[in-house]
Amino acid sequence: MTDTTSLFSPLSFAGHELGNRAVLAPMTRTSAQDNGQVHHDMVDYYRDFARGQFSLLITEGLYTDEAFSQGYANQPGLANQTQQVSWRCVVDAVHQQEGRIIAQLMHAGAQTQHNRFKDEVVAPSECRASGEMLSFYGGSGLFPLAREISEQEIHEAIAGFATSARLAKEAGFDGIELHGANGYLIHQFISNRFNQRDDAWGGDALARLAFPLAVIRSVREAVGEDFPIGMRLSQGTVTEPGLQWQGGPDAARQRLAYLMESGLDFLHLTSGDAQAPAFPEAEDEADRQLSLTALAAQVREAQHANVTLIANGGTDSQEKADAVLAQADLVAVGRSALANHDWPKRLKRGTPLTSFDFAMLSPLATLANEEDWRIANDKPANCEGRC
Ligand SMILES: Cc1cc2nc3c(=O)[nH]c(=O)nc-3n(C[C@H](O)[C@H](O)[C@H](O)COP(=O)(O)O)c2cc1C
């Protein structure tokens, strides 16, 4: 009998045949050129994961316009033609290794730490993101106070996502992922914490989906029917990983149902632990056990929706990957992939994995820092028979 759910089983995904279920999770490395173009080290970096047999790669979050979307210094962009051209080298390198690559499109909103186009920061409502800026992305101290984004700027932000998606398609990317997780702008519109608007972009939980749904519509119009579009979702933010969506499992089901009906090809659910219950204090005993992915799988089944589910969080072994794959179609790996660019290949061969070490990302989460760590610790990224 063919095994259809384990890590090394193939999957047909939005017109592509993936050789296995291992996906590289999106990870910001703040290693682009100052103008947001790809640095040549990034070509080798992404190629390495495809060579290491990740069948699908999701890029780090790319800013989408030359206005308010950039969040970090040396964050790569996909907001103009020169940035687009620079991404072609990455896309071609991944395709040469028979990997597939999706561009993650992100608008930082209130979580902006550095933006070379604007001095101001915008969010759905005036607010300050909680906690302190992330030092490994070069920030320090409190986040800036974000002002309420205007109606016109909302339309410009939506247009930015659409333009960026078109640039991604023309650059040869195999799809795009809208970053609706971790507290960035799309998440902010969804969240009652950041969105207190009482116009067409805010209100109850359903009304707060207006922005993500408008982005999805606009992006779809820009790229056509055949180009995969997905969205990443989380409950927590970068500085408050424990935050929960308001309204418990029923509201979550409703939100997931609307998003599944919106024409998305995939949903990417992320949390600290993909298998952990999303609402451990839910009234209903059965609901208390459900992870965000399990909830999404329930909704998908109930709606007969044709949406691929990617799950992420805490997967650092084949056993965990296979457990996650009982509920999702694909498993995205973050930190363990950073430590092992050939994570799938090592598991297949039975080669021991290198443990993730936060020192790889400190003081900065750059590729140069990772390289220094590898040399100092004699830990090759891709072992090629050397380990
Ligand atoms: C250095 C680093 C950068 C990250 N950047 C992004 C990003 O750009 N976009 C995103 O959606 N998540 C980002 N994340 C979150 C990861 O995609 C992933 O959700 C998280 O690491 C948990 O998965 P893991 O347990 O497999 O590492 C980042 C994580 C790390 C460690």
**pLDDT score, position 44:** 97
Run of H or E including 164: helix 151-171
SS3 per-residue string spanning 41-69: HHHHHHHHHHHCCCCEEEEEEEECCCCCC
Mean pLDDT calculated for residue range 299-322: 97
Number of continuous H segments (helices) and E segments (strands) in the chain: 12, 12
Task: Please report the atom of ligand 1 found closest to the CA of residue 181.
Answer: 11
How far apart are the CA of 144 and the centre of ligand 1, in A? 22
107 Cβ below 6 A of ligand 1: no
Render pLDDT for 181-228 as a digit per residue (tens, 0 to 9).
Answer: 999 999 999 999 999 999 999 999 999 999 999 999 999 999 999 999
Task: Determine whether 137 is an active site residue.
Answer: no
333 by DSSP, 3-state: which?
A: strand
Run of H or E including 293: helix 292-303
- Token readout for 311 is 């799950």
Q: How far is CA 43 from the centre of its chain?
A: 19
Spatial contact of 270 and 232, defined as CB atoms under 8 Å apart: yes
- Token readout for 91 is 């896309």
Q: 301 pLDDT exceeds 80?
A: yes
Domains, the chain: 11-377 (3.20.20.70)
Task: Please report the atom of ligand 1 found closest to the CA of residue 312.
Answer: 23
In 162-226, at which residue ranges do the beta strands (DSSP E only) sit?
Answer: 176-182
Residue of the CA atom closest to atom 2 of ligand 1: 27
Spatial contact of 262 and 210, defined as CB atoms under 8 Å apart: no
**pLDDT score, position 385:** 58
Burial label, 80 (beta-carbon count in 10 A; 0-12, 13-18, 19+): middle
Mean pLDDT calculated for residue range 121-141: 97
Torsion angle of the four alpha carbons 188, 138, 341, 307, in this order, in degrees rounded to the nearest 10 = 10
Render pLDDT for 263-286 as a digit per residue (tens, 0 to 9).
Answer: 999 999 999 999 999 999 999 999
- Token readout for 236 is 């927590």
> In degrees rounded to 5, what are phi and psi of residue 269?
-95, 130
How far apart are the CA of 25 and the centre of ligand 1, in A? 6
How far apart are the CA of 294 and the centre of ligand 1, in A? 20
Around Cβ 281, how many Cβ atoms within 10 Å? Answer: 9
Residue located via tokens 């990224």: 381
Q: How far is CA 210 from the centre of its chain?
A: 20
Render pLDDT for 243-262 as a digit per residue (tens, 0 to 9).
Answer: 999 999 999 999 999 999 99
Mean pLDDT calculated for residue range 58-86: 98
Amino acid identity, position 379:
K
Q: 4 pLDDT exceeds 80?
A: no
Among 174, 185, 288, 190, CA closest to 226? 174
- How far is it, in rounded angstroms, from Cα 182 to Cα 23? 18
**Over the chain, what is the mean pLDDT?**
96
**pLDDT score, position 386:** 67
Residue of the CA atom closest to atom 14 of ligand 1: 27
How far apart are the CA of 255 and the centre of ligand 1, in A? 23
Q: Confidence band (pLDDT; 50, 70, 90) for 15?
A: confident
Amino acid identity, position 231:
M
248-261 vs 210-223: helix axis angle to the nearest 10? 20
Q: 157 pLDDT exceeds 70?
A: yes
Percent of the chain beyond pLDDT 70? Answer: 98
> In degrees rounded to 5, what are phi and psi of residue 221?
-60, -35
Spatial contact of 259 and 251, defined as CB atoms under 8 Å apart: no
Catalytic residue among 45, 63, 184, 258: 184
Q: 75 pLDDT exceeds 50?
A: yes
Mutate which of 7, 23, 28 to test ligand 1's pocket (most atoms within 8 Å of Cβ)?
28
- How far is it, in rounded angstroms, from Cα 144 to Cα 128? 6
- How far is it, in rounded angstroms, from Cα 73 to Cα 294? 36
Burial label, 76 (beta-carbon count in 10 A; 0-12, 13-18, 19+): buried
